[in-house]
Structure 1
Amino acid sequence: MFDVRAVDPRLLNSLTKYPSIPTYHTLDPRNGGLTDPATVFPGDVIATEKVDGTNSRVVLLPDGTYLIGSREELLYAKGDLIGNPALGIVEQLRPIAERLPAGAGIRVYFMELYGGKVGGAAKQYTGDPTQFGWRLFDVVDLAAWQDPLSWPVPRISAWREAGGQPWVPEDALVPLAAAAGLSLTPRLWHRPGASLPPAVVDMHELLTASLPATLVGLDGVAGRAEGIVLRAPDRSVIAKARFQDYERTLRRLVVPRT
């Protein structure tokens, strides 16, 4: 039987984190510029808006309890008297966690919390520091949780970063979100992966055409979007394309006039 109070929280934290997302073009760690090659999507690809907030998670557990966390740490467990107030994550997501039904396994809802005072981009979504929004972008359904929870943290981390988490595919995610009453990050287009541009300049043009402004603005604000996330429908391949990365790279490619 699962008992949240008997499980090492370090294991649960690592097991339910969102993995790192690589950039669509290779990011040069020396200068932050983008270079070849581009990520290959053998099948179809779905583009969604990358919302500039804070990565958050609601973790539903087999014993009927839940956890709320940021990207890096767990902030609250059901029944706690005091929760970590970081970025307003617990305050905003606890009502959602309370109404989501637990199942037999571990299910993790990954959401982007934005607006309010969440980072420097909050003003792109709202002019009211008390106004928050959240969008679901992925769900993990871990039915066979017993073995992973017996592993040491380094093994869990390696498994997670290698794509070991069982993702809910797109055709199941859409009705799951609807049933839970959660809005997804905006879907921009669905096309063959072979149609994605291989060149940096062409991907920047596609970004600009796909998302001239954010689609999730609050109280009438429609500011600058951060970028897009590209996913295979089954989540076997995932990459991100951010405006600032492409703009930084293209500025370096411009030859100064003499």
Structure 2
Amino acid sequence: MTRFDLRAADLRALNSPTKYPSIPTYHELDPRNGGLLESATAFPGDVIATEKVDGTNSRLVLLPDGNYLIGSREELLYARGDLIGNPALGIVEQLRAVADRLIAVHDGGIHVYCLELYGGKVGGAAKQYTKDSARFGWRLFDVVLLENWATALTWPQAQISAWREAGGQPYADEERLQDLAATARLELTPRLFRADALPTSIEGMRELLTSRLPETLVGLDGTRGRAEGIVFRTPDRKVIAKARFQDYARTLQRRS
């Protein structure tokens, strides 16, 4: 059995398989102008709809040797025990205590807890969630359970990236995700509804967004501003897509 040692690990190789991949849009994006095309993602059967929170993608990477890493979507910002961490967007400051709690009960493998950190001064949408620039919130939205990490860490960067973007990362299904969130005492992104079919037209999806999510459900101090959109996923997490208000508004405005 290969023994993991963070101090001997290639951090560049470790960064790539633990990144969160791009989520495709429910309606295909037109590469010419960024508008939406009528081609919609096909979901086979049951679909779970969750609020898409507009913050910054953050990750807590729990490691087999009892260490952890904290990262943004693109970069690793902090390792357990570091004296200095990258202060970008307040990710390390806000989530270090969460990582300390999770690693205390971690039982091996490389597990990546994917959270959206929001509020505070995180982007232009912060005011939709709070009036207090010092107040942050976070919601868990996915967990990668990379048990066979030794093989993936030997691949070339291009291979890891292609594997990640093609959906190769082993994600927890909905039932396991609910269990992991409860054990970790982390709130999930709000579950809005389950359905066996979604609108296939752009107009139909815009109507679903406005009727099902008229305002955010994760406001921090009574603030109930605009939501960013909805993420749709199958219970096994094999198919996932996002629908953002701004994409539909822009597309329909151009048409009119």
Q: Same fold by TM-score, threshold 0.5 exceeded?
A: yes
Q: Quick one: which amino acid aligns to residue 143 of structure 2?
A: V
1:213 corresponds to 2:204: no
Q: Distance in 1 between matches of 2:133 and 2:108?
A: 38
Tell me how many residue pairs correspond in the alignment.
252
Alignment check: 8 A CA contact 1:61 1:103 kept: no
What SS does structure 2 have at the residue aligned with 1:244? helix
Q: Distance in 1 between matches of 2:5 and 2:191?
A: 37
Instruction: Percent identity, please.
Output: 72
Moved over 3 A (4+): none
- TM-score computed with the length of structure 1 as normaliser: 0.97
Displacement of 1:5: 1.1
What SS does structure 1 have at the residue aligned with 2:153? helix
- TM-score computed with the length of structure 2 as normaliser: 0.97
Partner residue of 2:150?
146
Q: Distance in 1 between matches of 2:90 and 2:236?
A: 31
Alignment of 1:1-258 (within 5 A): 1-100=3-102, 101-192=105-196, 195-254=197-256
Unaligned runs of 5+ in 1: none
Range with bigger deviation, 120-129 or 172-181: 172-181
Q: Distance in 2 between matches of 1:75 and 1:238?
A: 27
Q: Distance in 1 between matches of 2:140 and 2:163?
A: 23
Displacement of 1:253: 1.2
Displacement of 1:185: 0.2
Unaligned runs of 5+ in 2: none
What SS does structure 2 have at the residue aligned with 1:79? coil
Displacement of 1:175: 1.6
Q: CA RMSD in A?
A: 0.6
- 1:85-106 CA-to-partner distances (Å, cap 9, x unmatched) read 0000000000000010222200
Alignment check: 8 A CA contact 1:54 1:70 kept: yes
Q: Distance in 1 between matches of 2:73 and 2:195?
A: 29
